[in-house]
Structure 1
Amino acid sequence: MASPVGLLSLATASPPHELPQKDALAAARILFGDRFPQFERMAPVFDAVGIRTRQMAMPLEWYFEPHDWAERNAAYVEAATALYEAVVRRALDEAGLTGGDVDILVTVSTSGIATPSLEARCAGALGFRTDALRIPVFGLGCAGGVTGLALAARLAAAEPGARALVVCLELCSVSFRLEHPSKADIVATALFGDGAAACVLQAGEGGFAQITSAAEHTWRDTLDIMGWRVDPHGLGVIFAQSIPPFVRTKLRPAMAQMLARQDVAFGEVDRFLCHPGGTKVIEALEAALDLGQGALDHERAVLADHGNMSSPTALYVLDRARRAGLPPRSVLTALGPGFTASTATLQAA
């Protein structure tokens, strides 16, 4: 990155339907008890993932009904449009800007399909300019928050004075499915929630932190670790049990390479801010990065309060960290389909 890019604001927003984990387990027992013979053997995963509550796009009764792909995606578009507008208004208000002040619009979402994309659907209500650059990004999953932030920073740095808005929004719950449930579906039901985060960026020294550099690493032959499968019912999760041991053995050398490309050594990082994929993933991250057990406290808190929201989750962690006080140098990181690790290095203002 040629010059640092300031993070002028960071906002989060959740959909209105709160779902305590105990209620999620009770609902799952009703829904899956007869359809999945091994359900009771897997039920402890609802306690093991480290979630107290999460927020959902639709009321609980909606998930008890069968829905085809068209119905699921219609629910995604309606709820995502409302959530996009809400989170962008908060981010613009914090930055002291209007929609007309934004030059670049990056929208990250992998949990539904909106064409026209979400920023186009909300352009009139938010006052976006007709010449704003629109960049919808699909397929990054949990890594999308960090990759999207890095992409927006690179674009802002390339046009001095330009302001970029990045929105990461996922409604994972609309993919909840009753048909032919698998172990991955049970884990996903225990783990995922819905949410959105938005940042305004501008090249220069302003804001609560500067993005100084970014890097990614994609491992070869890892396409089956995480992703979507597509069938007549919609999008079904691919979720390999091998993620925690993969993180323990593979992440550190990849992180060292990414930091080296940014001229940063491990010892120069004051805090790793990590996407909390789940309790076992957090423990694997602490082990791989030699952080010490319990070091990722913001990550555990976000997971407990919101579940794994996919792409916005890393930005929720960053928001919690900045409210507690960012250290001089931190590295925001997330893992996602590919299988890919994404990082953005931050310098506190």
Structure 2
Amino acid sequence: MTRVLAVRSVFPPHRYPQSEIAAALARFLPPGSDTALLHRVHASVRVGARHLALPLERYGPSNDFGTTNALFVGAALELGGRALELALADAGLAGAELDLVMSTTVTGLATPSLEARLVGRAGLRPDVRRVPLFGLGCAAGAAGVGHLHEHLTGRPGHAALLLSTELCSLTLQAADASMAALVGGALFGDGAGALVAVGDDHPLYGSGTGPTVVAARSRLYPGTEHLLGWDIGHWGFRLVLDREVPELVRLHVAEEVETFLAGHDLKPSDVHAWICHPGGPRILDVLADALSLPESAFAASRNSLATVGNLSSASVLHILATFQESGPPPPGSVGLMLAFGPGFASELVLLRW
């Protein structure tokens, strides 16, 4: 078994209400664009405010990919470094005690990767195992927890850390008036999360109030790879987001959840803590309906969406952190971490407190 010792979220200092972001983005649209549509989209996604990597006035259509990516590396190192250090402090571990560090992002490119650049700053050992992930998108937070669990099952004396750093605002195509770009500009926020876990032979396994990881599952749905992801070119990252995605969640992800839980003699109604990626309000509504769950089941996800926006892979870490901060569920409670991303793919992690 794997024990989560600590999970932390951190955010850039620049925070804006949704209405202010919408007004700024409306000014960047090409002449003749439907600015009323932009404002309707921003109002419909149920995001109240978001954190941005840069001050709002620094965004615009003139930023080229190289400049924006350099800004990503600098801001991601600062934000990710803080998340890593805070999670280690909460877990009661020094950086040198980590045996594995896994990092994920889908909003910028860095070689050497982010976790490699943080080794010296965070006091990690030069021989720490490093696994940088790119391309899993919003699913990577849950996928990373599953990969940590697999590592710690095979090496139960180890300690491992997952770092998710997503600066979604730096992928913004400000002059793009497509529906996908309008939705992306309305939904996504910036933030980082870090999770520390240990195997069941580690001295700290019995400490803390974090959940244990029981099992994890990854699933690709063939023929859907064109529906979600990035179109990458000299302009940077352009969002690909098909309107079919919520129905994919209804048709495939709900069944996947039920099958996964049934393999552990559980039903959706047995899950106390839903740690579901808030891909958007419609996706949460569809999933709740398909699983016959009350709207309150995804209250933590809806609150995360409202207060910080969709953080891509960092969202599930933020939601898990809020569960822990508000007082963990009673002993024996079941949790399900659930996320989906490009592929189209789903990632499931079964937790128990």
Q: Is TM > 0.5 for Structure 1 vs Structure 2?
A: yes
The question of whether the paired residues in 2 share the 8 Å contact of 1:35 and 1:180 is answered with no
Where 1:238 maps in the other structure, the secondary structure is strand
Aligned 1:133-212 pairs, distance under 5 A? 133-204=129-200, 205-206=205-206, 207=208, 208-212=210-214
Instruction: Provide the residue aligned with 1:322 in structure 2.
Output: 324
Are residues 264 and 232 of structure 1, via their aligned partners in 2, closer, same or farther at CA, if it must alter by over 3 Å? same
Cα drift, residue 245 of structure 1: 2.4
Deviations for 1:214-270, whole angstroms, at most 9, x for unmatched residues?
112211111122100012111111111122222223222122233344554445433
| Structure 1 residue corresponding to 2:110, chosen from 102, 106, 114 | 114
Residue 156 of structure 1 and its aligned partner are, at CA, apart by: 1.6
> 2:22 touches 2:38 (CA, 8 Å); kept in 1?
no
Q: How much has 1:149 moved relative to structure 2?
A: 1.0
Per-residue displacement from partner, 1:125-176 (whole Å, max 9, x unpaired)? Answer: 1101011001000001110110011111211221121100100111111011
CA 1:213–1:81 in 2, change beyond 3 Å: closer, same or farther?
A: same
Give the Å deviation of 1:35.
Answer: 4.2
1:275 pairs with one of 265, 274, 277: 277
Question: Does residue 46 of structure 2 align to residue 50 of structure 1?
Answer: yes
One-letter code aligned to 1:307? G
Q: Distance in 2 between matches of 1:305 and 1:36?
A: 32
Amino acid at match of 2:212: Q
Equivalent-residue separation in structure 1 for 2:175 and 2:110 (angstroms): 24
Please tell me whether residue 338 in structure 1 is matched to residue 343 in structure 2.
yes
What fraction of aligned residue pairs are identical, expressed as a percent?
A: 33
For the pair 1:103 / 2:99, whether they are aligned, the reply is yes
- Residues 65-80 of structure 1 correspond to what in structure 2 (within 5 A)? 66-80=62-76
Say if 1:267 and 1:301 are closer, same or farther in 2 by CA, change over 3 A: closer
Inter-partner Cα distance in structure 1 for 2:57 and 2:343 = 34
Question: C-alpha distance in 1, partners of 2:63/2:283?
Answer: 31
Letter in 2 for 1:187: V
Higher alpha-carbon deviation: 175-184 or 111-120: 175-184
Alignment counterpart, residue 2 of structure 2, candidates 5, 8, 16 = 5
Q: Is the contact between residue 219 and residue 339 of structure 1 (CA under 8 Å) also seen in structure 2?
A: yes
Query: Could you say if the C-alpha distance between residues 347 and 294 of structure 1 is closer, same or farther in structure 2, counting changes exceeding 3 Å?
Result: closer
1:191-340 to 2 correspondences below 5 Å: 191-204=187-200, 205-206=205-206, 207=208, 208-262=210-264, 264-324=266-326, 325-327=328-330, 328-340=333-345
Does the 8 Å CA contact 1:213/1:262 hold for their aligned counterparts? no
User: Residues 268 and 41 from structure 1, CA distance in 2 versus in 1: closer, same or farther, beyond 3 angstroms?
Assistant: closer
Is the alpha carbon distance of 1:59 and 1:286 closer, same or farther for their aligned partners in structure 2, counting shifts above 3 Å?
same
Give distance in 2, aligned partners of 1:108 and 1:263. Answer: 32
With the length of structure 2 as denominator, give the TM-score of the two structures. 0.93
Q: Is the 8 A contact 2:11 2:79 kept in 1?
A: yes
In 1, distance between residues paired with 2:159 and 2:251? Answer: 39
> Unpaired segments of 5 or more residues in structure 2?
none
More deviation in 11-20 or 60-69?
60-69
SS of 2:66's partner is helix
Taking structure 1 as the reference length, the TM-score comes to 0.94
Q: What is the DSSP-based 3-state SS (H/G/I as helix, E as strand, rest coil) of the residue aligned with 1:50? A: coil
Which amino acid in the other structure matches residue 261 of structure 2? L
Alignment length (residue pairs): 344
CA deviation map 1:39-59 (0-9, x unaligned): 323421111111111101111
Q: Which structure 1 segments of 5+ residues have no match?
A: none
Could you tell me how far apart the structure 1 residues matched to 2:141 and 2:105 are? Answer: 9
Q: Name the aligned partner's letter for residue 109 of structure 1.
A: T
Alignment partners' CA distance in 2, 1:263 and 1:113: 42
Q: Which runs of 4+ in 1 moved over 3 A?
A: 260-268
Is 2:59 the partner of 1:63?
yes
Distance apart, 1:271 and its partner CA: 3.2
Asked whether the 8 Å contact 2:61–2:173 carries over to 1, the reply is no
> Contact 2:269–2:293 (CA<8 Å) still a contact in 1?
no
Structure 2 CA distance, aligned partners of 1:267 and 1:306? Answer: 28
CA distance in 1, matches of 2:25, 2:90: 39
On the 8 A contact 2:339/2:348 being kept in 1, the answer is yes
Residue matched to 1:88: 84
Residue identity in the other structure for 1:84 = G
Residue identity in the other structure for 1:276: P
Aligned residue for 2:237, secondary structure, equals strand
Q: Alpha-carbon deviations, 1:277-302, whole Å to 9, x = none?
A: 11111111211221112331111111
RMSD after superposition = 1.5
3-state SS of the aligned residue for 2:313? coil
